[in-house]
Amino acid sequence: MALPHQTVSRRSLLRTLGGTTALGALAGCGVPAAYVRPGDRAAADASARDRRLTWANWPLYIDTDDAHPNRRPTLEAFEKQSGIAVDYVEEINDNDEFFGKISPALMNHQSTGRDLIVISDWMCARFVRLGWVQELDRARQPHVAEHLDPLLRSPAFDPGRKFTVPWQSGITGIAYNRRRLGREIRHVADLWADDLRGRVTLLSGLDESFALLMLGNGVDITRWTADDFHRVCDQVQTQVRRGQIRRFTGNDYTKDLVSGDVLACQAYSGDVIQLRADNPDIEFVVPEEGAELWAESLMVPNLAAHKANAERLIDHYYRPEVAAELAAWVNYVCPVPAARHVLADSDDKDTAALAEDPLIFPDAGMRRRLAIARDITAEERVDFAKRWNKIAGL
């Protein structure tokens, strides 16, 4: 299983206040008609007689064959074993953009034409609150029930993962160039050290950035408050004024880190695995105060015509041998810890080494410092986004 050379595009940010405001209004009490009651979410399931499904995912988020890039081995294996044909569409490039694309159908109680979608958990939370996704039949998903990582089993927005199943996971922590900096970074507050002035970047997306900064203040991010949020904003505003922060970024923070323009930054674990392959001086740290564990999850939208087929596909990817093959390609935190043993037993040295990478399979010490943040509610979002986007210059 070869490692990919991928351009990471999945951890998208809220780019404009206008889009954020529209989302907040739609998800809030101002548009009660947007909510879909449980009894109105399911369509007649055609799975038994129509052996197919349509799956919308992000680009570069599934294993491919090195010799034949259009082939997807784990997906082809499912099609062969199940007899179910999968129309795999790489159409999701931004959470907000995709929300805007399919929300008119969901609001108006119409099919999206998709049986399975993958979006970031902070956006999944909106779908769950709006009643736009169907409860999954865990009886059809024995491998999910057995192998889903306990750390990911019960986020605040979906206790027990009744509506969502993690596709891949990751960590928002700190990346830095240890050789250029000449010392270790161990705490969030280390970003504010004088020798890093003008050489730090933070993530510009509100949902991507706030949790790590709160953890630096000792906050339990599973139950943070508005006061915790505004305290972080006050701190970041102070650092902007003193010139500590070079800029706020999307995924382009990697370019600054590689070039040496930036010595330390908020970063995603999956990116750093790729960067370290070319530059072993780049380190990723889960601060002693902790870091945010996040996921991008599979969901079956309302009125999907092939729900049972979609549930069967989800379960396929929770077989440890399949999860291992996928993890070896995408290099994110694997939501199936049992896949580690599969990789460790590989005859290929590089593949076996992945089993020991804590950014794919966090070790016990790291796991104790990871938490899933409470998401931002619809009522909070508009005011919070206004303040954060002003600081970040969005």
Element containing residue 203 per DSSP (H, E): strand 200-203
What local confidence, expressed as pLDDT, does residue 32 receive? 52
pLDDT of residue 21 exceeding 50, the answer is: no
* Model confidence at 394: pLDDT above 90: no
Pairing of strands 370-371, 291-299: parallel
Give the separation between CA 29 and CA 101, rounded to whole angstroms.
Answer: 21
What's the CA gap between 277 and 5, in Å, rounded? Answer: 10
* Secondary structure letter of residue 302 according to DSSP: T
pLDDT tier at 16 (50, 70, 90 boundaries)?
A: very low
pLDDT tens readout for residues 317-337: 999 999 999 999 999 999 999
Other Cβ atoms less than 10 A from the Cβ of 275: the count is 19
pLDDT digits (tens, 9 = 90+) for 109-130: 999 999 999 999 999 999 999 9
Please choose, from the candidates 6, 56, 381, the residue with its C-alpha nearest in 3D space to the C-alpha of residue 229.
381
Mean pLDDT of 31-48: 90
pLDDT > 90: what percent of the chain?
89
Strand blocks (E) in 210-357:
245-249, 264-268, 282-285, 291-299
DSSP code at position 194: G
List all residues 6 or more positions away from 74 whose beta carbon is below 8 Å from its beta carbon.
62, 63, 316, 317, 322, 325, 326
Tell me the longest C-alpha to C-alpha distance in the chain: 66
Range with the poorest average pLDDT among 28-32, 68-72, 87-91? 28-32
Q: Yes or no: say if 161 and 372 are a contact pair by the CB < 8 Å rule.
A: no
Question: What is the predicted pLDDT for the residue at 26?
Answer: 54
Tens of pLDDT, residue by residue over 250-267, are 889 999 999 999 999 999
pLDDT over 80 at 14, yes or no: no
Q: How far apart are CA 103 and CA 124, in angstroms?
A: 13
Per-residue pLDDT band at 19 (split at 50, 70, 90):
very low
CB 200, CB 263: distance < 8 Å: yes
* Local confidence band at 33 (pLDDT 50, 70, 90 cut-offs): low
CB 192 within 8 A of CB 216: no
Cα-based distances in Å from 343 to 89, 107, 351: 28, 43, 6
State the Cα–Cα distance between residues 358 and 286, nearest whole angstrom: 10
Structure-block tokens of residue 356: 């020991």
On the CB side of 30, CA atoms within 13 Å amount to 11
Asked if pLDDT for residue 27 goes beyond 80, the answer is: no
Backbone angles phi, psi at 341, to 5 degrees: -70, -30
* Position 212 pLDDT exceeds 60: yes
